[in-house]
């Protein structure tokens, strides 16, 4: 049976600083992000619990209204194992198989806000390294024009395809491969975001970042891991180390 996209009708809901969601009558940059179909036959209204999560994210300091709206739209419970559904809207990372984890909503929204760097509408093409279960790719699809998402583990690449299929997001491209090589197909990127952390940044990412573009990735630092933001400017690369984070390791090759 074909599902019809029904909400948002043409544009994403906007979330105010109080976390209230309204659907506005204008669309940033003229085009609407792809609509994500509403749930059918779930037997629960997950929307209310998602809005509660969005309010908490806003209280934690996330202000980007497009990011908050996307977090309120994408059904995280569809991306986790059925045994974990009741934890899907808690601010916690959860196992997704093959020793990997889906990031906390707090970390996803923080990184997306950093990546977008105050862009008012959707930002341009983005490369995501580490598709995992596909959740963050779905969120990215709502706040960017196009998403190239790469995963090195075949089992998770397949799982993400399965998870994303019913959402029919035409601006998401899933790729199986080693993301340390970047993805030349979509380069240059307005943004690059990594969901796995290494000791250094792969040169390919810096090469494939557009002038004026921004990269957000976890990197090893002082025996731990921190978020790193790199801006590619005409004056050179500008690095900024931020708060400690805990991501799975960035690995080479495929498996």
Interface of this chain with ligand SAH, residues 131 to 170, rule: CB under 6 A: 132-133, 135-136, 150-153, 156
- Give the sheet arrangement for strand 224-233, strand by strand: 172-176, 147-151, 126-129, 189-194, 209-221, 224-233, 236-244
What is each CA distance from 141 to 34, 97, 127, 130, 184, in whole angstroms?
Answer: 7, 23, 11, 15, 19
Say how far apart CA 211 and CA 191 lie, in whole Å.
10
Interface of this chain with ligand SAH, residues 230 to 249, rule: CB under 6 A: 248
Say how far apart CA 223 and CA 147 lie, in whole Å.
32
Residue 102 lies near ligand SAH (rule: CB under 6 A)? yes
Residue 225 lies near ligand SAH (rule: CB under 6 A)? no
Residue 231: CB minimum distance to ligand SAH, A: 22
Residue 131: CB minimum distance to ligand SAH, A: 6
Residue 101 lies near ligand SAH (rule: CB under 6 A)? yes
Comparison of 73 and 136: residue with beta carbon closer to ligand SAH: 136
Burial class (CB in 10 A: 0-12, 13-18, 19+), 21: buried
How many residues are there in the chain? 255
Comparison of 14 and 115: residue with beta carbon closer to ligand SAH: 115
Comparison of 28 and 202: residue with beta carbon closer to ligand SAH: 202
Q: Of the listed 65, 103, 109, 149, which one is catalytic?
A: 103
Phi/psi at 25 (nearest 5 deg)?
Answer: -95, 5
- Closest to 102 in 3D by CA, of 90, 119, 115, 114: 90
Both structure tokens of 41: 């036959």
- Closest to 123 in 3D by CA, of 205, 201, 31, 36: 31
Comparison of 75 and 178: residue with beta carbon closer to ligand SAH: 178
Residue of the chain from 129, 164, 172, 204 that contacts ligand SAH (CB under 6 A): 129
The binding track of 195-224 with respect to ligand SAH, each residue x by CB under 6 A or -, is: xx----------------------------
Is residue 103 annotated as a catalytic residue, yes or no? yes
Interacting residue ranges for ligand SAH, rule: CB under 6 A: 96, 100-103, 129-130, 132-133, 135-136, 150-153, 156, 178-180, 195-196, 248, 250-252
| Residues noted as catalytic | 103
């Amino acid at each position: 049976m074909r599902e019809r996209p029904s909400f948002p009708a043409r544009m994403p809901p906007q979330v105010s600083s109080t976390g209230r969601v309204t659907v506005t009558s204008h669309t940033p940059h003229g085009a609407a992000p792809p609509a994500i179909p509403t749930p059918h036959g779930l037997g629960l209204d997950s929307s209310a619990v998602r809005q509660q999560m969005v309010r908490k994210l806003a209280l934690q300091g996330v202000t980007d209204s497009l990011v908050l709206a996307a977090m309120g739209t994408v059904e995280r419970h569809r991306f986790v194992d059925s045994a974990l559904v009741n934890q899907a809207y808690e601010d916690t990372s959860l196992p997704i198989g093959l020793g990997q984890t889906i990031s906390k909503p707090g970390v996803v929204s923080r990184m997306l806000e950093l990546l977008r760097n105050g862009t008012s509408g959707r930002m341009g093409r983005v490369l995501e390294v580490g598709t995992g279960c596909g959740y963050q790719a779905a969120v990215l699809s709502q706040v960017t024009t196009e998403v190239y998402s790469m995963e090195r583990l075949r089992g998770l690449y397949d799982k993400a395809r399965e998870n994303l299929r019913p959402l029919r997001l035409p601006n998401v491209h899933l790729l199986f491969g080693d993301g340390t090589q970047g993805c030349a197909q979509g380069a240059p990127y307005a943004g690059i975001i990594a969901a796995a952390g290494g000791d250094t940044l792969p040169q390919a990412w810096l090469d494939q970042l557009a002038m004026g573009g921004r990269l957000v990735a976890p990197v090893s630092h002082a025996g731990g891991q921190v978020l790193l933001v790199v801006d590619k400017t005409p004056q050179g690369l500008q690095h900024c180390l931020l708060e400690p984070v805990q991501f799975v390791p960035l690995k080479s090759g495929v498996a």
